[in-house]
Structure 1
Amino acid sequence: MKELIQEIRELIRSARQTVIRSVDLIQVLTNFEIGRRIVEHEQGGAKRAAYGKGLLKELSMALTAEFGRGFSRSNLQNMRKFYLAYSERLSEKCQTSSGILPFSEKSQTSSGNLEVGGLPGTWRTVSAGFKSPFKLSWSQYVFLISIDNSDERSFYEIEATGGGWTLPELKRQFNSGLYERLALSRDKERMKQLACEGQLLTRTEDLLKEPYVLEFLGLDEKAKYSESDLESAIIDKLETFLLELGKGFLFEARQKRFTFDEEHFFVDLVFYNRLLRCYVLIDLKIGKLSHGDLGQMQMYVNYFDRFVKLTNEAPTVGILLCKKKHDALVEITLPKEANIHAREYQLYLPDKELLRRKLREWGKEVDK
């Protein structure tokens, strides 16, 4: 009986989630179509032509009177902007299992079809194999179209879709300058990949950021805190910390103990990255980074490589997450092939404009 109840419970939950996703899809497609019609009526399809606010006001009043909330002038402006941001990429068409159907095409309702509506008189149907070009909710697209840089907007759309980000998670990653932080650590070619394919993990350097932003821990930048306090705060906010680390990270242990030559050693945090298929060891340092810290991490990495990782897994990665790193010390202490990296963290959101200026300056240097 318990198994039957559990099966039915999962069935109902799955059905409800499907309904929610279908409603989101219909809303996004409908808003795209409304935006298209506003653009074509007001501009004749010309993107840069001036459009009359009077029409949107009148349209808002008429739609609100008949359909209720959701058709304010600002929301209609968002629909228009949404269409302009995505019309070129979609070529005003969507993909189905049986071919390409323009958004304006009408067809007869039949069994097994999904009905997608726009404004009155524009209802149409698409086959059950309908593949939507949109994967996120309307509220997420409203946020995305506020991003002027098309490459940056594309990156966040790809990452939000692949990572299943909620709207608060999407906003947090944007506010933390994730795109800029990743772009600054890549060459020109790999930076372009961010806009087309998102963050791809094919090598160790792809999972590193500079800096790591830990504002969600709630620690005061000016207050005194210990490495133990920092570690405890990370564990308390582990889900958000995993989001900051990036794709493919799985948490394994805190204060992972291993014994060597009858002496116990403890690694602060142990993760596994399933995309790179390797262990990632993190040691937390709030003071000045020393050569002893680097040597200790080298020992941790050596131990995992020799006694923990499997033969078909990639070499272990060591990250020293510190308040202030010392590049010259790292360079002179570790061999070039060492898979150990010192990275800074900060307890506040970065200045996005400063990151953007750095990215522009970096681009000019590369182009020289």
Structure 2
Amino acid sequence: MENEIMKNEDLFVKITSLIEESRHHIATAVNTAMVITYFEIGRYIVQDEQKGSNRAEYGKSVLKELSSKLTERFEKGWSVENLQNIRNFYLAYSQKYETVFHKSSDSDLVNSVYEIQNPFELSWSHYLILMRIQNIDERNFYEIECKNQNWSVRQLSRQVNSSLYERLALSRNKDEVMALSQKGHIVEKPSDIIKNPLTLEFLGLKEEASYSESKLENAIISKMQDFLLEMGKGFLFEARQKRFTFDEEHFYVDLVFYNRLLRCYVLIDLKIDKLTHQDLGQMQMYVNYFDRYVKQDFENPTIGILLCKEKKDTLVELTLPKDSNIYAQEYSLYLPDKKLLQQKVKEWIAEFEDAAK
């Protein structure tokens, strides 16, 4: 009797898994068809618009009439606002993806839409965010990362609002900035995990409020999923207040992570005030201990990160050896000024291009 129950349960699990997988594929196929169709509709709208002499009047009258007829025929989803979004979607991606689509007659449009190699791998909600990014390099970066990291719409929105692209660009060698829009965020060496600054607005701590390092740590622990998203690729959380002992004295590392891409431990110490040389020396000791007594032979050297409110680059450079695996990284409790960061990146790229001439 028990074996019979187990067999029935196994059959149920198999069928359930098959149905769920099938629904996922159906949903993906429906979304793909919708995005491709929107791209083609956008192309028709733009082509028709270009034939007119007054584009402002086109938007007011033609789209309004088109919306009314489509809504009458297909009901929801064809408001003037949505048609404008569809038009803008085509304009944003036409240069990049137009050549992927077959040139077809109107009568063959439906067949051509489903025969092409689909370049759109994200949902329409994702593209509503992406198409509003004016800088093409920045938009390409977020599109690549969204596909590779399987970001939800909420996660994508948060990364764009927190200026992830600009913060990564400003933390990198000028030679690496251009690669962000072509390859996304590649993690190959310790410095690749550094952002400038680390943005922790999701913790809900007020910039002007008084808080302790333990309160900051507790806030991070309670929002660990968001913190891991902000830290970036490959991070796994291992422990808080990790204790180790030598010479009959106990020491505690605030947060211990492991990065599977770099294959190494990442130690984080939290500092709510200005960074001191004593803080740097303490982290050097932590890193040395992990390298000598914790890490395995196949693992790479431990990385130490001092997450601080304020740092002086000169102090860091004078205190640490050049080959140190320790980084002082500032954090912010509010979203950065995106326009200011964009201007800084623009200046960096201009310097890069001038030097290449």
TM-score if structure 2 supplies the norm length? 0.90
- Residue among 14, 35, 49 paired with 1:28: 35
- Residue among 201, 208, 213 paired with 2:187: 201
How far apart are the structure 2 equivalents of 1:258 and 1:265?
5
- Residue among 91, 94, 98 paired with 1:91: 98
How far apart are the structure 2 equivalents of 1:335 and 1:273?
23
Relative to structure 1, is the Cα distance of residues 357 and 308 closer, same or farther in structure 2, using a 3 angstrom cutoff? same
Q: Deviations over 1:105-131 (max 9, x none)?
A: 79xxxxxxxxxxxxx974227889x74
Give the number of the structure whose residues are more often helix, by fraction.
2
CA contact (8 A) 1:93 1:103 kept: no
How far apart are the structure 1 equivalents of 2:250 and 2:21?
48
Question: Which amino acid in structure 2 is aligned with residue 203 of structure 1?
Answer: K
How far apart are the structure 1 equivalents of 2:260 and 2:301?
13
The answer for the alignment partner of 1:109 in structure 2 is: none
Aligned 1:175-214 pairs, distance under 5 A: 175-214=161-200
The answer for the alignment partner of 1:168 in structure 2 is: 154
Deviation at 1:40, TM superposition (A): 2.3
- Mean alpha-carbon deviation: is it higher for 65-74 or for 254-263? 254-263
CA contact (8 A) 1:34 1:79 kept: yes
CA contact (8 A) 2:141 2:184 kept: yes
How far apart are the structure 1 equivalents of 2:80 and 2:95?
24
How far apart are the structure 2 equivalents of 1:215 and 1:126?
42
How far apart are the structure 2 equivalents of 1:215 and 1:10?
38
Question: Which amino acid in structure 2 is aligned with residue 37 of structure 1?
Answer: Y
The answer for the alignment partner of 1:123 in structure 2 is: 110
Residue 164 of structure 2 corresponds to residue 157 of structure 1:
no
Deviation at 1:300, TM superposition (A): 1.0
The answer for the alignment partner of 1:294 in structure 2 is: 280
Residue 71 of structure 2 corresponds to residue 64 of structure 1:
yes
Question: Which amino acid in structure 2 is aligned with residue 317 of structure 1?
Answer: I
The answer for the alignment partner of 1:321 in structure 2 is: 307
**How many aligned positions are there?**
345
- Residue among 44, 48, 54 paired with 1:37: 44
- Mean alpha-carbon deviation: is it higher for 187-196 or for 169-178? 187-196
How far apart are the structure 2 equivalents of 1:24 and 1:143?
16
Relative to structure 1, is the Cα distance of residues 19 and 351 closer, same or farther in structure 2, using a 3 angstrom cutoff? same
Residue 255 of structure 2 corresponds to residue 269 of structure 1:
yes
How far apart are the structure 2 equivalents of 1:10 and 1:270?
36
- Mean alpha-carbon deviation: is it higher for 73-82 or for 223-232? 73-82
SS in 1 for 2:178: helix
CA contact (8 A) 1:270 1:279 kept: yes
The answer for the alignment partner of 2:327 in structure 1 is: 341
Deviation at 1:83, TM superposition (A): 1.5
- Residue among 78, 85, 101 paired with 2:85: 78
Q: Deviations over 1:27-80 (max 9, x none)?
A: 101101111111222226x9x994721222221111011111111122112212
How far apart are the structure 1 equivalents of 2:213 and 2:298?
34
The answer for the alignment partner of 2:22 in structure 1 is: 15
How far apart are the structure 2 equivalents of 1:39 and 1:326?
52
How far apart are the structure 1 equivalents of 2:17 and 2:249?
49
The answer for the alignment partner of 2:201 in structure 1 is: 215
Residue 220 of structure 2 corresponds to residue 234 of structure 1:
yes
Question: Which amino acid in structure 2 is aligned with residue 212 of structure 1?
Answer: L
Q: CA RMSD in A?
A: 2.3
How far apart are the structure 1 equivalents of 2:276 and 2:289?
20
SS in 1 for 2:145: helix
Deviation at 1:186, TM superposition (A): 2.1
Q: What stretches of structure 1 of length at least 5 have no aligned partner?
A: 95-101, 107-119
How far apart are the structure 1 equivalents of 2:27 and 2:254?
41
CA contact (8 A) 1:287 1:322 kept: yes
How far apart are the structure 2 equivalents of 1:330 and 1:65?
66
Relative to structure 1, is the Cα distance of residues 309 and 357 closer, same or farther in structure 2, using a 3 angstrom cutoff? same
Residue 330 of structure 2 corresponds to residue 330 of structure 1:
no
The answer for the alignment partner of 1:253 in structure 2 is: 239
How far apart are the structure 1 equivalents of 2:288 and 2:240?
19
TM-score if structure 1 supplies the norm length? 0.87
CA contact (8 A) 1:33 1:103 kept: no
